Amino acid sequence: VWTVDNSEQVIEKNSQLIQASLWIKKDEVVAFPTETVYGLGGNAYSDTAIGRIYEAKGRPSDNPLIVHIAERSQLQDLVGEIPDKANKLMGAFWPGPLTIIFPKGSKVSARVTGGLDTVAVRMPDHPVALEFIKSCGVPLAAPSANLSGKPSPTSAVHVYEDLSGRIPGIVDGGQTGIGVESTVVDCSVDGQVTILRPGGVTKEQLEHVLGCAVYVDPSFTKKDTAPRSPGMKYTHYAPDAPFVLVNGSREFIQQLVKQAKSEGRRAGVLTTVENEGFYSADAVIPAGVRSRPETVAAALYDALRAFNEAKVDIIYGEVFPKHGVGDAIMNRLEKAAGGNMMVEEDK
């Protein structure tokens, strides 16, 4: 997170934010840091700005955007009504990595919601994001600031790799903290709360606050059901080389590497610090410490991007337990693999 510890940085920070908010006022789009990943923001009430977001990302326009706010008062013009459970969740998790789907207010354009009658809203827990949104004076519609299909950016450098020449600027806030996107929950269907995308806030945390069961949209796991969150149907988070998720031992993964190499292919392994020393491959890249899943989430996208530089032809990745933040980690890895999954016999 951005620390401002001397006067020179203060000046630089203020001038960045002033310049960036001027761009927003001219319906341009600007990347900015949040606690999860960088967002590509534009005035949520400007169809011109929304068009530019889709264009810069190369994103299909039926995939709706999350609207980012800095104050609760900004909800008024965005949402139709606020369900009780949404109120509870906002109280517990805002600002923070929780996106809530509300019935849409009449001022919100169909360009933002991909034609849906609901709108996704979140208040990010990042000082620079909050200050930036305030200085713009409007809510910011913002998807993750990557090219469509690529891993989400967790640093300004990642944004630059994907979007330089396509947007006027990036507000640099250093590395993001959480590293995977917000949890998306649907509160628009009466009395029911459904997770549409696992993320920084876990199912366990949601249930604890609500005191009732939270549903999980089955389209995460079933390929042929239409997802309620349109974004979940696209290939995502993918490095350049094919990525294969392997449910098996380290020995089995090393065997796969050996096989690939014997066929003349450069192979990489996505692992964690605990297992890094075990493998011999063209690129062995650890994403955090397995025993602390939040460190895996924080390092995941940077690790996926690092394989592009290593110029491997195939990547094998270890699996993680699907609970807590592991839900989000596995969801992103399964998307990155696009269904490419191997299971060791007798495992």
Q: Which residues bind ligand TXA (CB under 6 A)?
A: 34, 36-37, 39, 63-66, 97, 99, 101, 113, 116, 118-120, 124, 142-144, 181-182, 184, 196-197, 228-232
Buried/exposed 223-242: b ≥16 CB within 10 Å, e otherwise: eeeebbbbbbeeebbbbebe
Residues 177-196 contacting Mg ion, CB under 5 A: none
Give the residues across from 32 on adjacent strands.
39
Q: How far is the CB of 211 from ligand TXA (least distance, A)?
A: 24
Report the alpha-carbon distance of residue 96 to residue 90 in Å, rounded. Answer: 9
Q: How far is the CB of 245 from ligand TXA (least distance, A)?
A: 20
Structure token pair of residue 200: 């920084």
Number of residues that bind Mg ion (CB under 5 A): 1
39 touches which of Mg ion, ligand TXA, none (CB within 5 to 8 A by kind)?
Answer: ligand TXA
Q: Which residue is nearest to ligand TXA (CB)?
A: 231
Give yes or no for residue 144 binding Mg ion (CB under 5 A): yes
If the CB atoms of residues 198 and 231 are measured against ligand TXA, the closer one turns out to be 231
* Total number of residues shown for the chain: 347
Q: Is residue 46 helix, strand or coil?
A: coil
Give yes or no for residue 74 binding Mg ion (CB under 5 A): no
131 touches which of ligand TXA, Mg ion, none (CB within 5 to 8 A by kind)?
Answer: none
Q: How far is the CB of 143 from Mg ion (least distance, A)?
A: 5
Q: How far is the CB of 96 from Mg ion (least distance, A)?
A: 18
For 139, the enclosing helix (H) or strand (E) is: none
159 φ/ψ angles, rounded to the nearest 5 degrees: -60, -45
DSSP code of residue 182: P
Report the alpha-carbon distance of residue 104 to residue 111 in Å, rounded. Answer: 12
142 touches which of Mg ion, ligand TXA, none (CB within 5 to 8 A by kind)?
Answer: ligand TXA
Q: Kind of pairing, strands 267-271 and 283-286?
A: parallel
Most distant pair of Cα atoms in the chain: their distance? 61
64 touches which of Mg ion, ligand TXA, none (CB within 5 to 8 A by kind)?
Answer: ligand TXA
If the CB atoms of residues 45 and 252 are measured against ligand TXA, the closer one turns out to be 45
Report the alpha-carbon distance of residue 314 to residue 307 in Å, rounded. Answer: 9
**Locus of tokens 């032809």:** 313
If the CB atoms of residues 21 and 144 are measured against ligand TXA, the closer one turns out to be 144
Residues with Cβ within 8 Å of 54's Cβ and at least 6 positions away in sequence, in order, are 60, 61
Q: How far is the CB of 281 from ligand TXA (least distance, A)?
A: 30
If the CB atoms of residues 120 and 257 are measured against Mg ion, the closer one turns out to be 120
Q: How far is the CB of 288 from ligand TXA (least distance, A)?
A: 18
Structure token pair of residue 332: 């992103």
For 195, the enclosing helix (H) or strand (E) is: strand 194-197
288 touches which of Mg ion, ligand TXA, none (CB within 5 to 8 A by kind)?
Answer: none
8 A C-beta contact, residue 118 and residue 102: yes
Report the alpha-carbon distance of residue 249 to residue 195 in Å, rounded. Answer: 31
Radius of gyration of the chain (CA): 20
Q: Which range of residues in 125-133, 144-152, 155-163, 172-180 is near Mg ion by CB under 5 A?
A: 144-152
If the CB atoms of residues 17 and 159 are measured against Mg ion, the closer one turns out to be 159
If the CB atoms of residues 66 and 253 are measured against ligand TXA, the closer one turns out to be 66
If the CB atoms of residues 140 and 314 are measured against Mg ion, the closer one turns out to be 140
Q: Which residue is nearest to Mg ion (CB)?
A: 144
If the CB atoms of residues 29 and 142 are measured against ligand TXA, the closer one turns out to be 142
What would the DSSP string read from start to end of 96-129?
SSEEEEEEBPTTS-HHHHTT-SEEEEE----HHH
Give yes or no for residue 229 binding Mg ion (CB under 5 A): no
Binding site for Mg ion (CB under 5 A): 144
